[in-house]
Amino acid sequence: MIEISKYVIFVMRVSGVGKSTIGSLLSEELNIPFFDGDDYHA
């Protein structure tokens, strides 16, 4: 049987500290999708 785990990682902090950079690097390293919150608001 294959066990599938689902994880959500939130990177939160004030603006301008590199959240998008860290998120995209984590995404590449862990081979998981990355969604930037900036893409979902004006």
Tens-place pLDDT, residues 1-39: 666 677 788 999 999 999 999 999 999 988 888 999 888
CA distances from 4 to 1, 7, 15 (A): 10, 10, 34
Per-residue confidence (pLDDT) for residue 31, from 0 to 100: 86
Its pTM surpasses 0.85: no
Pairwise CA distance, residues 25 & 34, whole Å:
9
Per-residue confidence (pLDDT) for residue 34, from 0 to 100: 92
**Is 16 buried (19+), middle (13-18) or exposed (0-12) by CB count in 10 A?**
exposed
